[in-house]
């Protein structure tokens, strides 16, 4: 008899998981009330380093998180072109803080076998962001492009990922 | 104490429902594009040197070579018609369709015999100020004005000047 009782018990537990179960009006209701809005991140614009002249020596072009662009080494910026930070729209629980996980590196390719590496990703918010009172926040990300000496002329593109999680 | 089957049910049910609340902390990831364009470096090469030709200096004046190479004088300077002047010619190469700024010197000095010198100024270019690299190349011609002194010492005078180009 005891074994049969336990069997029924397991069956009832399974039913309990269904929202319509009479048994569900217990601690489970409190738990669902605590569910926060899931954090979401949507990419709204890409990272653009703009036009660059490659020289006889390697160089870098950095897009700072404040949007400024600078070059080092043998690489020269083309003043008429501008860079742009990647921007993301974050939404979630109002006022909540979240961790920002940036990639270590990404690779840009021209489709003809030539590549450049992007590293040094930074966000304007640092490693931790905070959602506004309306549950949204915008996030800007910059990085450093490494240009090889005599980098072949062309348009290079690639992708990178940004991950957020509640703290 | 003997646990009733019903009590056991509550515990099991609670475990299941807490499990449903698990996705609360789910992270989210977005993918962004990153782009960069390497363009052809801008370069300038000299094709033709600036030449004012032969002239006779009287009490002084100026000789101007325009960007087409035509000469004109002011003051008491006489051109030797058998000689000809020439505008300086340059070829600029770079990224197709891009514009660039042309920077000319304010002046240059030509040195002649026995420490004599003349000043060249009034540099002009065609195109002037800004050029466009249609097809990735453009020719730039440069003229200027030579200032000839009173009884300027006879001889050959030479000097150099620089023209700079940079992408806008």
Contact between A141 and A65 (Cβ < 8 Å): yes
Residue B24 at interface with chain A, using a CB cutoff of 8 Å: yes
Quick one: pLDDT at residue A123?
Answer: 95
Tell how many helices (H) and how many strands (E) occur in chain B: 1, 11
Task: Report the predicted TM-score, pTM, of the whole model to 2 decimal places.
Answer: 0.74
Binary contact (B28, A164; C-beta < 8 A): yes
Q: How deeply is A165 buried, as exposed, middle or buried, from its count of CB atoms within 10 A (0-12, 13-18, 19+)?
A: middle
Q: Report the residue of chain B nearest A80, measured CA to CA.
A: B168
Interatomic CA distance for residues B116 and B114, integer angstroms:
6
pLDDT tens digits, one per residue of A3-61: 444 334 333 443 444 444 455 445 555 555 666 789 999 999 999 999 999 999 999 99
3-state secondary structure of A29: helix
Binary contact (A51, B35; C-beta < 8 A): no
pLDDT tens digits, one per residue of A78-131: 988 889 999 999 999 999 999 999 999 999 999 999 999 999 999 989 999 999
Quick one: pLDDT at residue B3?
Answer: 43
- Percent of chain A exceeding pLDDT 90 equals 72
Q: How deeply is B160 buried, as exposed, middle or buried, from its count of CB atoms within 10 A (0-12, 13-18, 19+)?
A: exposed
The complex's ipTM?
Answer: 0.76
Binary contact (B26, A38; C-beta < 8 A): yes
Contact between B69 and B54 (Cβ < 8 Å): no
Residue A164's alpha-carbon distances to A28, A38, A123, A127, B28, in angstroms, are: 27, 11, 12, 10, 6
């Amino acid at each position: 008899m005891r074994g049969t009782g336990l069997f029924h018990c397991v069956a009832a537990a399974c039913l309990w998981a269904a929202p319509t179960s009479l048994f569900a009006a217990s601690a489970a209701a409190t738990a669902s009330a605590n569910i926060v809005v899931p954090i979401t991140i949507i990419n709204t614009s890409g990272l653009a380093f703009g036009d660059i002249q490659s020289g006889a020596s390697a160089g870098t072009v950095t897009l700072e998180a404040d949007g400024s662009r600078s070059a080092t080494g043998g690489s020269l910026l083309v003043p008429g072109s501008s860079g742009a930070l990647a921007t993301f729209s974050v939404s979630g629980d109002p006022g909540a803080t979240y961790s920002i996980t940036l990639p270590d590196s990404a690779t840009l390719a021209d489709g003809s076998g030539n590549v450049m590496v992007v590293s040094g990703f930074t966000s304007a918010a640092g490693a931790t962001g905070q959602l506004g009172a309306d549950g949204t926040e915008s996030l800007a990300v910059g990085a450093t492009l490494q240009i090889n000496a005599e980098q072949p002329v062309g348009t290079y593109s690639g992708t990178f990922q940004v991950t957020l999680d509640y703290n | 104490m003997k646990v009733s089957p019903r009590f056991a049910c509550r515990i099991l049910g609670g475990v299941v429902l807490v499990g449903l609340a698990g996705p609360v902390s789910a992270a989210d990831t977005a993918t962004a594009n990153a782009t960069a364009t390497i363009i052809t470096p801008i370069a300038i090469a000299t094709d033709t040197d600036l030449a004012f030709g032969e002239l006779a200096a009287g009490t002084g004046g100026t000789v101007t070579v325009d960007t087409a190479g035509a000469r004109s004088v002011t003051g008491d300077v006489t051109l030797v018609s058998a000689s000809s002047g020439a505008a300086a010619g340059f070829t600029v190469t770079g990224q197709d369709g891009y514009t660039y700024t042309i920077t000319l010197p304010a002046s240059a000095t030509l040195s002649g015999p026995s420490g004599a010198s003349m000043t060249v100024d009034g540099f002009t270019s065609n195109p002037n100020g800004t050029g466009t690299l249609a097809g990735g190349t453009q020719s730039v011609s440069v003229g200027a004005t030579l200032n000839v002194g009173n009884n300027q010492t006879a001889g050959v005078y030479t000097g150099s000047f620089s023209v700079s180009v940079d992408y806008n």
